[in-house]
Amino acid sequence: MSHIKQQTIASQFTLEGVGIHSGYTSRLTVKPASKGGIRFKRMDIDGNPEFPAHLDFVQETDRGTNLGVGEVRIMTIEHIMSSLIASEVDHVLIELSGNEIPILDGSFQPFCRAITAVGLRQLSSDVEVMHITRNLRIECDSGASYRVSPCSNLQISAQIEFTHSAIGRQSGVFEINPNTFGSEIAAARTFGFESDVEYLKARGLARGASLENAIVLDDTGVINGPLRFKDEFLRHKVGDLLGDLALIGKRIRASIICEKPGHEGNIKMARFLRDKVKSND
């Protein structure tokens, strides 16, 4: 039985910025909560619809993870979710004016810094933990694969591979806790290819992308260097994976080995774990 207590933030904070896909400015305020997990509330819609950050509400995984109920959507939730779960925050209410979480500088760092600045408050209930007790494997049509096995903490071993010479094949192992996430993952930015921009914009995506909020690559290399890490691309993928896993709604103790992770595969794995693995407090 765990005696580690659940946590929320000690006081609220507000961030504002453009959405990387919508191109519209959004404002979010994250408020303390004592129960209900992580929840989103749209403040710019009549009735202020509210729903949990949960796998059951995933609507799309194309270039980001989007949640929604009916016509109400919240786009690109992975960066704030990753920052909250890595900071061991169990309950908050996220009030959003707009349909997309601000991309800010393209990394997880602005969210982590905001959480650190306000601090955490311990709650009375024990944490809910998903313990992996057997070896599991998930294969995806996208080419992504995940092997999950028992571990006393959360450890992610990831490998990515791109034909672009500035990325190539990258791999690494990361133990996830507030300290290591802050030093090894949080600063890693999202990335994209200049050759994809017009195609994405025609599909209603990347309309807010810029050299200020994403690593952009042309045919020869990174346009807006220097990189924050030699393997920044890999580290950002690990952060995205953690944000998608956070939609399980529990802290996770497992070793995850993944190849070519992406949002579609991450969500498939998270649903598989939710459905197959017993959670233990």
Active-site positions? Answer: 263
| Structure tokens, 205 | 């995506």
What's the one-letter identity of residue 94?
A: I
- Tell me how crowded residue 110 is: count the other CB atoms within 10 A of its CB: 19
**Cβ–Cβ < 8 Å for 108, 188:** yes
Quick check: 180 and 219 in contact, CB under 8 A? no
Cα–Cα distance for residue pair 111/249, rounded to 1 Å: 19
DSSP-based three-state secondary structure for 159: strand
- Separation CA 12–CA 28 (nearest Å): 10
Q: Which residues have a Cβ under 8 Å from the Cβ of 70 and sit 6 or more positions away? A: none
Report cis status (omega within 30 of 0) of the bond before 226. Answer: yes
End-to-end C-alpha distance for the chain, whole angstroms: 6
Q: Is the dihedral of CA 211, 214, 218, 224 positive or negative?
A: positive
Structural tokens at position 92: 């908050």
CA distance 147 to 139: 9
203: tokens are: 């599909």
Please answer whether residues 79 and 245 qualify as being in contact, where contact means their C-beta atoms are separated by less than 8 angstroms: no
